[in-house]
Amino acid sequence: MKRACGILMPVASLPGNYGIGCFSAQATAFIDSLKKAGQSYWQILPLGPTGFGDSPYQSFSSFAGNPYFVDLDELAAEGLIRKEELDKVDWGSDRRYVDYGKVWESREKILREAYGEFLKKEDCEEAVEKDSGDTEKMPVRMNRAQYEKAVADLNPETREYCLYMAVKARENGRPWTEWEDGIRLRKPEALSRAREELAEDIAFYEWVQVYFSRQWKRIRAYAKEAGIGIIGDMPIYVAPDSADAWAHPELFRFDADAKPVCVAGCPPDYFSPDGQFWGNPVYDWEVHKKTGYAWWISRMEYAFSIYDYVRVDHFRGFDEYYAIPAGAENAKNGKWEKGPGMELFHCLEEHFRGRFRTLPIIAEDLGLMTESVMKLVAESGFPAMKVLEFAYDSDSSNPYLPHNYIRNCVAYTGTHDNEPLKAWLNGLNDSVRLHVIRYQGSEHTPGNDLFWDCIRTVLSSIADTAIIPMGDYLGVGEEGRINMPSSSGNNWKWRMKEGEFGENLIWHCNMLADMYGRSRT
């Protein structure tokens, strides 16, 4: 990666009309603002379909897209749904936060109506007329042959997800572990019967994925033309209730009845006396090794088809992972076991040889760093992460203090899991706050503007890449937090309002990027 900077902003946090950010005109407007602000990267969270809890890190599939992100205005422009019907829907009254309950109630219903209209329409290839009178190349309604080719071109794992979702709908949303044995254990006759009986539902979910892919490709191409690289995110684990786990039980540490023997988590520490019980299925790395890591190659192929760079979450799990007995009440009795190490990445490097000089991966190496984890990160050559909010709780040897950075890293003020910068500063005790002020030379900075000095500290560091969360540039408080780890019910909701990334903030971002040699212009 070059010396540059970017902004972390979830797609769901974009402004817009229908309850949640999506692949709308607001997405391209955000890219325009990034370009004007001298930025080179847009970092987002995983794009997969979210399940219970609405977490993008607990997706129904590693190979599918979130239906919430399909742009409904485009469907209206194609004549698949009436704009006045969209305006009648109660998407929630507060545009600052996503109301997932209302989005869940309305989104699939609207998409099913649009799909019904799609099936009724005659083949049509002419461009859609815009209000300006100009004829755009996009969006263009696909004719039947184009659509059938788009379905055939879906990743096989994406199509497996569509079958999974159709069965899940028939089962009233129950997790696959509670389905009847025939379909749960993927008996051939049960799968054949499901594909036949649920053909209409499967086709609907395929249509959604075609539109998701089509719209995202357009957004990504728009970003590329603007000189903006997309940094995506890949959770190391799959969700327990996912098409990944259901379709490939042999890849996980399941027993003969497709039930987990152990699950993922973290051991007890100062902050979590009982440890963290994540519940994700853990990989059977010996099976992956025997296949030449074929599933991981496929997963990375999909990731690189939708992102320019991939931040791999919980990178240390490739060195060692914490396995907890599946029936345990907490994480106290788990144990560390060896992961695949560099062998996996050597296989990936070999597969992608000729396509990339180096794999465009960012290693999320936060948390407990053992000697073997640090060795794996160093040997991989992937840029690691440095987070300023972790820098001031010890002495000058703290690896997150900017004077300890190396060029090959990605520096952040905070991530989606951290408090917004301004809220973090307000919560510091006097001694840590004094440490921040002295380190940054902020003795004459008004307290309310101290967050700007933190941003400047990261941008001025030696790190090749600096990423600042959008909320930090906006100076939001605790109300703007994206996620509180180990909590549920109030996460992934914050949204930027229209106009907040305006000319004044764009000027400040561009000025800082230029000042510290990170501007793309």
> Is 90 exceeded by the pLDDT of residue 521?
no
364 among known catalytic residues: yes
Radius of gyration from C-alpha coordinates of the chain? 23
Lowest average pLDDT, out of 54-63, 196-205, 323-332, goes to 323-332
Catalytic residue among 171, 301, 417, 498: 417
pLDDT of residue 520: 77
Q: Residue 317: exposed, middle, or buried by beta-carbon count in 10 A (0-12, 13-18, 19+)? A: buried
What pLDDT band is residue 129 in, cutting at 50, 70 and 90? Answer: very low
User: Would you state the structure tokens that stand for residue 462, as one six-digit string?
Assistant: 């030696």
> What's the distance, Cα to Cα, between the start and end of the chain in Å?
16
Using a pLDDT cut of 90, give the percent of the chain over it: 87
Catalytic residue among 54, 78, 364, 365: 364
pLDDT of residue 489: 83
Give the tens place of pLDDT for each residue, 299-312: 999 999 999 999 99
All structural domains of the chain with their residue ranges: 1-39+384-521, 62-225
> Is 80 exceeded by the pLDDT of residue 123?
no
Lowest average pLDDT, out of 116-130, 140-154, 202-216, 454-468, goes to 116-130
> Is 50 exceeded by the pLDDT of residue 125?
no
Residue 160, strand partner residues: none
> Is 50 exceeded by the pLDDT of residue 471?
yes
Give the tens place of pLDDT for each residue, 264-283: 998 887 667 888 889 999 99
- Report the side by side order of strands in the sheet with 276-281: 276-281, 262-266, 320-325, 335-338
Catalytic residue among 233, 313, 319, 365: 313
CB within 8 Å of 147: residues ≥ 6 apart: 207, 210
What pLDDT band is residue 93 in, cutting at 50, 70 and 90? Answer: confident
313 among known catalytic residues: yes
CB within 8 Å of 518: residues ≥ 6 apart: 3, 4, 5, 38, 40, 459, 466, 512
CB within 8 Å of 353: residues ≥ 6 apart: none
